[in-house]
Structure 1
Amino acid sequence: MKKDFCLHGLLLCLGIAYCSHVTSLRRSSKLRQSFYGHHEKGKEGQVLHRSKRGWVWNQFFVIEEYTGPDPVLVGRLHSDVDSGDGKIKYILSGEGAGTIFVIDDKSGNIHATKTLDREERAQYTLMAQAVDRETNKPLEPPSEFIVKVQDINDNPPEFLQENYHANVPEMSNVGTSVIQVTASDADDPTYGNSAKLVYSILEGQPYFSVEPQTGIIRTALPNMDREAKEEYHVVIQAKDMGGHMGGLSGTTKVTITLTDVNDNPPKFPQSAYPMSVSEAAVPGEEVGRIRAKDPDIGENGLVKYKILEGDGAEMFEITADYQTQEGVVKLKKVVDYEAKKFYSMKVEAVNDHIDPRFLSRGPFKDTATVKISVEDSDEPPIFLETGYIFEAYENAPSDTVVGRVHAKDPDAANSPIRYTIDRHTDLDRFFSINPENGVIKTTKSLDREECAWHNISVIATEVHNRVHETRVLVAIKVLDKNDNAPEFAKPYEAFVCENAPVNQEFLTITAIDKDDTANGLRFYFSFPPEIVHPNPNFTIIDKKDNTASIRVGRGVFSRQKQDLYLLPIVISDGGSPSMSSTNTLSVRICSCNSDGSHLSCNAEPQSLNAGLSTGALIAILACIVILLVIVVLFVTLRRDKKEPLIVFEEEDIRENIITYDDEGGGEEDTEAFDIATLQNPDGINGFMPRKDIKPEFQYNPRDIGIRPAPNSVDVDDFINTRIHEADNDPTAPPYDSIQIYGYEGRGSVAGSLSSLESASTDSDLDYDYLQNWGPRFKKLADLYGSKDNCEDDS
């Protein structure tokens, strides 16, 4: 540190002295130019006029990072118009003027007041001007000058990355390029050696080296082996000042990894591998594993295995497990301990990817011997065939032999075998098997039309070890016998016109047979022998292609006589023995046009009424008759009562309630109800017409045959008489006419006569409405019955 400080101080002093000397020389030169140079002669006697130069100066320099106690003198400005009497004033403006750079307005000396850093700013552009001190008028035009910050070595080199990672193949030649590292220096590369870098290696020898000028790292040792050492750590230094003493430096770390190449062949650690396999093993089962070691990695370490020779090459196979790099030996075919007990084979391990550069080292493969011994095991029985197919005729009697299955014990013990049928495959118990010899028989008759094939499973079990069992599929085909008669292929129904011509074909029929085609391939059609032949109405023609045509005979049809013919047809097959059946064909007679189109058939009404039963039609007709009877009775009753059939006015069937805002004067106002009769019971002997309606004809109460009531009639008899009279009065309205008054007159002891308290629940057409007024009539009679002469205020 002390040495660096002294060096920096020396450089600073030298720089200041150099700048001052250069400035003085340039100022003296300008002064001389200013003093002599107003007129100069050019070439060939030409006088050259040049303008007056107002400033005597040059470009200024200042060293960065100056930390002295006094401001640094940058330079001095002087105008040739300055006579030294103090009338000239110097003004400085531009970048950093007044803050970084200040000027003495009298002498023109410029000082730097702050420490400058070239890496932040390399130069400043300023403007200088000389003005009159009193008037501030410019004496010279403003002039521009530059202050450059002079660099010192104050920045160490820095690498672009703190850590580098690189790869290089193992066994590379000396000088193989690995990676290039790069450092930078913030100092000025155009001035001195502050930014001139030199690279060197601090750690990593003797394996690697670095080029001093470029920073390229190269291998320095031959045959570097990844299997010996895979990773290396290298430290690189970059130093400025050309690497000389006093320069600044920086370092970085480089991690170099050797990548693998296939420079190692696979190698079996032992020459022979013993294995064993049970004879009960199934093909594909793993027998054992071997591994050839290869120190290489990735695809260079992949090993492929194959069987070269040996008696086990046909019975076994070997594949590579690329996860573990092992060779997996698997069973290819079933082995038999009783047949062969030992196998041997030669196995080779070889690399998939071989580098030709290393073939001189020898073949990249290795061989080993695999010895496999077969182990005995208690095996289950083995059927002589993988499956059995038997045949049996249908309708055969029980205990008919179907076939025989046979199994044996493959072990040396040769244990006896017992046979059973898996009843889950023979639910109906059609078959049985002899447990000792495997003979299969029927237990009941078979029907081919019900089931043409029976698939059952037979189980073979060792007597001494019932754990071991084997199953075999037995398929039993049921052979056909001609035991089914042919029949119509579908229900037939024919229609024939009454006027159909003779020998006209109107239907083609065919047949089906449930039996096998071998027994029912050919069908024969005919009429039954009991029908008189030839049939006068129809004939049948066998087309000999399993179809027949029905034609019109010589008879004459009449729908009135017979509209439906049921024609029996016999169908026979060609089996042995032959089977036949009689089928009925329905033929309907229709009326037709001259062109043969049907007009009507007896089947049409049925089709029209198909959606409606006869009982429903009868019920509908009965309902219509009942409705007509009800209408006639209703009209008759209406006429007897002389009432209109249709009520046009709504007020004729409703109650009339007349409401006033006040009630009348009681006894002084009797308009609300006609009480004249109650006041004078003798009035019943005389006819008093109703006042609330206008009767259609005059009615005499005496015609009813009721005896007149005496003057001293009892009130109950009076009321009953009035009720009976009202019930038999055809002029009485079917409603109550009630008049209500909001104000009751003076002297009334009867109270309101409103009918709102009536408890009647009868319908609107109840003619016994006076019964609801019985209690009030009785009360009125008690009050007014003794008054024979009472005016009717109404």
Structure 2
Amino acid sequence: MSNPLYPLHAYCFSLFICSLSRFSVDLTDCYYEQFHLISKDPSFTVRSDGAIVAVAEVSVTTRGRTFSVLAEDNTGRESELEVHLAIAPQKKERTGILKRTKRRWSPPPLEIPENDLGPFPKAVETIRSDSEAKEPVYYEISGPGVDQGFFTLDRETGILYVHQTIDREKIPKFIVIVSAFSRRTNQQSDQPLDLAINVLDKNDNAPEFKDSLQFTVLEQSNPGTVVGQVNGTDKDEENTFRTKIKYTLLSGTDLFAIHPETGVITTVTNTLDREDKEKQLVIVQLQDMFGASDGLSTTGTATITVGDINDNPPTFTKTSYEASVPENESEKLILRIPVVDRDLINTPNWVSKFVITKGNENGNFRIDTDPKTNDGLLYVSKPLDYEKTKSIKLDVMARNVAELTGTTAQWSSIPVNVNVIDVDEGPEFTAPTIRFIVKENVPNNTLIGTYTASDPETKSSDGIKYYKVTDPASWISVDKNTGELRVANTIDRESNFVQDGIYNITMKAVDSTSKTGMGKVILQVEDENDNIPVVPISDLVICETQGKFGSVLVVAEDKDQPPFSAPFTFSLPTDKDGKWSVTRLNDTTATLNQIQDLPTGIYSVPVVIKDLQGFGDKQTVKVRICNCVNGVCKDRPSSISLGPLALLAMLLPLALLLLLCILLAFFCRTKGDKIELEDAGDGGGILLKSNTEGRGEEVVRL
């Protein structure tokens, strides 16, 4: 034998039969714990404790009987050993020979083979109670196995019979209750016996796949990469050699391997290529008895999906491209650039990103990706000028969202030549925007500047006319032939049309073919000292305080800008009356102080206010001295001016009162007159027929 096992003693297999229907032999000296033992003769089985048991009636001649036992150690080494049976003299006892002894009331668990085909009923064992030695007894049996019709017990002899085939995978064990009764008293002569009947397993179930055989592994994975694990199960008795499964690949061994004990599938090569074959089908075999020739097996097909990596860069379908675009156009698609990528569609390994690596320094172009086709979409994003650039050479690179891996390939680029198409354009001003500085209040007809245009192709200004498009305050006139700008009305920097000193004018130039060009003129209006400081609030209040003189703040404003405005100077005129004094508080404010005891009333106080340039005049400030409540003059007269609607609202009640008096007089005059009304019969007592559209006779005139 190759791969010899641990040595087994020869006497372990010299067995003698003392019952041809059933026997067992103890192999405690044979080191059975180190082996998996399987009988190759279906009439025998090897129990988990190492005992060889006959599971069917055995016929042995005088020459004996021989069968084989397959032994496998824990490392998987196998040996096949022969067992020799011989008939022993029944009266002679010798060591190692089975001997019939007196049955006790507490026998060990009985064992019967599964799937026994009969004939039935078949005797299993004779049950004897110790009380039978004292008096005649009879036996009864009960329990699930009896209720289901599997077992009966001969009342007189105590022989236990089995009546049908039993499947261990459905019922591995029975517990029946055996009772002994005195024939004389019909009373129990012994305690009831719980008798265990174990169903011995046979290898009658092929292993099955426990889980789905669907696995995934990335392409180009290194050898030894775990793909997944196949899990098998067997309905036969657990933890026996009959349920020890061996895993084998029957196909795909050039790419994959499977561990015979764990079922783990691994790669054996790094050549898996999703683009070549996305799904690999391999046949997996499950064998019980760890692959023994007399074991049972099952096969299944495992599907191994090869996952994608970005090992293929996008490639262009052409070597170069050419596109054309009219000048002055923007946000226009000018070219579609298709690419091919062998990686998995709609994944980062397949989705392309395009980059303009050369020729787009001025930002005239952009390139996007079509999400449906993965094509590159080249747009002109800023207008091009044919007179400046007639063609542009671009380099476009195609790459993926994911980085390349598992390949030496690089991202590729392609040249794209963009031709600019000349368009007959309208005139162009010398600059889109021009700025002129002008002082406010300059005389009319003062020349501000000239703003002209020319034809982009000929560079000539012949035949071009100039017009204003917008001039909000009508301050400018334009010479339509020369483009001269002159003052038409007084320019005022403090006007609402001026924002931060800026006044905007829109111009257009029209050539002989009525094509138009637009331009913008910015007037930067310089300030002049044409406004003096003023006091916008002249009605000031001083609340009279006993024993104290009051004061008020005088705040001045100047519409001019520095240096023609604040800081201001405040003073009283030379002919002052000695009742007031003024003190400068800050650049725009002064304090007007009362310096004499003055009665309540209104006082007009002249104050001289001048700007930084000394330009100013006398301002009259009205100051009211009064008794105050919460800072408000309590004796301040109210001056109310009523408008027409207010007068009408006051007169309306009087008019209504007058109308009411007239109506009362009318009712009093007609009260005594009785007016009979003729019923026309169809008025319902409510409405009167009338074809009169004019006014009635009874009309009250006011």
TM-score range for the pair, normalised by the shorter chain length: 0.5 to 0.7
Alignment of 1:105 with 2:155, yes or no, is: yes
**How far apart are residue 481 of structure 1 and its match?**
4.3
Task: List aligned pairs for 1:42-57, cutoff 5 A.
Answer: 54-55=104-105
Matched letter for residue 156 of structure 2: K
Question: Do the aligned residues in 1 keep the contact of 2:144 with 2:174 (CA within 8 Å)?
Answer: yes
- Aligned in 2, Cα 1:452/1:483: closer, same or farther, shift over 3 Å? farther
Query: AA paired with 2:56?
Result: I
Q: Does 1:376 align with 2:422?
A: yes
Q: In 2 relative to 1, CA 485–82 (structure 1 residues): closer, same or farther, beyond 3 Å? A: closer
Q: Residue 60 of structure 1 corresponds to which residue in structure 2? A: 110
Correspondence for 1:151: 201
Whole-angstrom distance in 2 between the partners of 1:165 and 1:58: 48
Counterpart pick for 1:480 among 524, 528, 538: 528
- Structure-2 residue corresponding to 1:569: 606
Alignment match, 1:273:
321
Partner residue in 1 for 2:279: 231
Q: How many angstroms apart in 1 are the aligned matches of 2:425 and 2:298?
A: 80
Deviation sequence 1:286-311 (CA, Å, 0-9, x none)? 553545544234444466655566x6
Match of 2:57 among 17, 25, 31: 17
Q: How far 1:438 moved relative to its partner?
A: 2.7
User: How far off its partner does 1:230 sit?
Assistant: 0.9
* Number of positions where the alignment pairs a residue of Structure 1 with one of Structure 2: 553
Q: Residues 90, 198 of structure 1: CA spacing in aligned structure 2 closer, same or farther, 3 A cutoff?
A: same
The answer for unaligned runs of 5 or more in structure 2 is 1-39, 46-52, 61-84, 642-702
Asked if the contact 1:277–1:372 (Cα under 8 Å) also holds between the matched residues in 2, the reply is yes
Conserved? CA contact 1:496–1:506, under 8 Å: no
How big is each residue's C-alpha offset from its partner over 1:76-101, in whole Å with a ceiling of 9 and x where there is no partner? 124577589x9332233455346532
| 2:500 is the alignment partner of 1:461 | no
Aligned mates of 2:564, 2:334 — CA distance in 1: 59
Q: In structure 2, what is the Cα distance between the partners aligned to 1:353 and 1:605?
A: 84
Q: For the residues of structure 1 that align with 2:90 and 2:168, how far apart are their CA atoms? A: 26
Question: Which residue matches 1:180?
Answer: 229
In the TM superposition, what whole-angstrom CA distance separates every residue of 1:148-192 from its partner, at most 9, and x where no partner exists? 21223433322113x42111222345665422212211112566x
Q: Are the structure 2 counterparts of residues 72 and 475 from structure 1 closer, same or farther at C-alpha, using a change threshold of 3 Å?
A: farther
Q: Residues 171, 517 of structure 1: CA spacing in aligned structure 2 closer, same or farther, 3 A cutoff?
A: closer
Offset at residue 141 of structure 1 (A): 5.2
- Once the 2 structures are TM-superposed, how far is the Cα of residue 201 of structure 1 from its aligned partner? 4.3
Q: 2 CA distance for matches of 1:32 and 1:605?
A: 138
Pairing partner for 2:468 from 421, 428, 436: 421
For the structure 1 residues 190 and 111, does the alpha-carbon distance in structure 2 shift closer, same or farther, using more than 3 Å as the test? Answer: farther
Structure 2: distance between partners of 1:379 and 1:196: 90
The answer to whether 1:399 aligns with 2:445 is yes
| TM, length-normalised to structure 1 | 0.57
Which one of the candidate residues 120, 123, 141 is aligned to 1:73? 123
Describe the shift of the 1:395–1:473 C-alpha distance in structure 2 as closer, same or farther (beyond 3 A): closer
2:135 counterpart of 1:90: no
How does 1:321-720 map onto structure 2 within 5 Å?
Answer: 321=369, 323=371, 325-327=374-376, 329=378, 331=380, 335-349=384-398, 358-359=407-408, 363-412=409-458, 414=460, 416-423=463-470, 426=472, 428-451=473-496, 453=498, 455-466=503-514, 468-477=516-525, 479-482=527-530, 484=532, 486-487=534-535, 489-492=537-540, 509=554, 511-516=556-561, 518-519=563-564, 521=566, 522-523=568-569, 525-527=571-573, 535=577, 538=579, 547=590, 549=592, 552=595, 566-567=603-604, 569=606, 571=608, 573=610, 580-581=617-618, 583=620, 585=622, 606-607=635-636
Conserved 8 A contact 1:381-1:407: yes
Contact in 1 for aligned 2:368/2:376 (Cα 8 Å): yes
Instruction: Give 2:606's aligned amino acid.
Output: I
Q: Would the aligned equivalents of 1:19 and 1:60 in 2 still touch at CA under 8 Å?
A: no
Q: Which residue identity lines up with residue 484 of structure 2 in the other structure?
A: V
Aligned residues of 2:43 and 2:56 also touching (Cα < 8 A): no
Change (3 A) 1:517 1:185: closer
1:119 maps to 2:169 = yes
Q: Is the 8 A contact 1:275 1:288 kept in 2?
A: yes
Matched position secondary structure for 2:243: coil
Secondary structure at the aligned position of 2:286 is classed as strand
Residue 276 of structure 1 aligns with an amino acid whose one-letter code is S
1:412, CA displacement in angstroms?
3.8
Partner of 2:335: 288
Distance in 2 of aligned mates of 1:365 and 1:294: 12
Aligned to 1:620: none
Query: Structure 2 vs 1, CA of residues 230 and 25 (structure 1 numbering), >3 Å: closer, same or farther?
Result: farther
Distance change (3 Å), C-alpha of 1:460 and 1:411 = farther
- Preserved contact between residue 364 and residue 383 of structure 2 (Cα < 8 Å): no
Distance 1:83 1:319, change over 3 A: same
In the alignment, the residues of structure 1 paired with residue 494 and residue 231 of structure 2 have an alpha-carbon distance, to the nearest angstrom, of: 96
TM-score scaled to structure 2, two decimals?
Answer: 0.64
The share of aligned pairs that are identical, in percent, is 24
Q: Does the aligned pair in 2 maintain the 1:452–1:477 contact within 8 Å?
A: no
Partner of 2:220: 171
Q: Residue 255 of structure 1: SS of its match in structure 2?
A: strand
The 1:173–1:433 alpha-carbon spacing in structure 2 relative to 1, beyond 3 Å, is same
| 2:532/2:610 contact within 8 Å kept | no
What amino acid maps onto 1:606 in structure 2? Answer: D
Structure 1 CA distance for aligned equivalents of residues 580 and 127 of structure 2: 150
Contact 2:538 2:623 in 1 (8 A): no
Q: Is the 8 A contact 1:507 1:550 kept in 2?
A: yes
**Deviations 1:432-469 (CA, angstroms, capped at 9, x unpaired):** 32233333333333444443716333132332454543
CA apart distance, 1:254: 1.9
Q: CA deviation at 1:133?
A: 0.8
Contact 1:314 1:332 in 2 (8 A): no
- Confirm or deny that 1:258 pairs with 2:303: no
Q: What residue number does 2:74 align with?
A: none
Contact 1:57 / 1:78 at 8 angstroms: preserved in 2? no
Report the Cα distance in structure 1 between the residues aligned to 2:203 and 2:323, rounded to whole angstroms. Answer: 78
The verdict on how the C-alpha distance between 1:33 and 1:372 changes in structure 2, with shifts beyond 3 A counting, is closer
Q: Does the residue aligned with 2:138 lie in a helix, a strand or coil?
A: strand
The one-letter amino acid of 2:220's match is M
Cα RMSD of the aligned pairs, angstroms, is: 5.0
CA deviation digits over 1:331-367, x for unaligned, max 9?
57654322332333444555676667543xxx52334
Taking the aligned partners of 1:552 and 1:479, their CA distance within structure 2 comes to 40
Paired amino acid for 2:215? A
Structure 1 segments unaligned to the other structure (5+ residues) = 1-6, 35-52, 591-597, 614-794
Report the AA paired with residue 136 of structure 1.
Answer: N
Task: Give yes or no for contact 2:506–2:521 (8 Å, CA) kept in 1.
Answer: yes
Say if 1:279 and 1:412 are closer, same or farther in 2 by CA, change over 3 A: farther
Query: Matched residue of 2:140: which SS?
Result: strand
CA-to-aligned-CA distance 1:82-141 (integer Å, 9 cap, x gap) = 589x93322334553465322112111111234422112222234445432121345555
Asked if the contact 2:395–2:415 (Cα under 8 Å) also holds between the matched residues in 1, the reply is yes
In structure 1, the residue corresponding to 2:482 is in which secondary structure? Answer: coil
Give a deviation string over 1:604-656, Cα, whole Å, max 9, x none. Answer: 7834x75999xxxxxxxxxxxxxxxxxxxxxxxxxxxxxxxxxxxxxxxxxxx
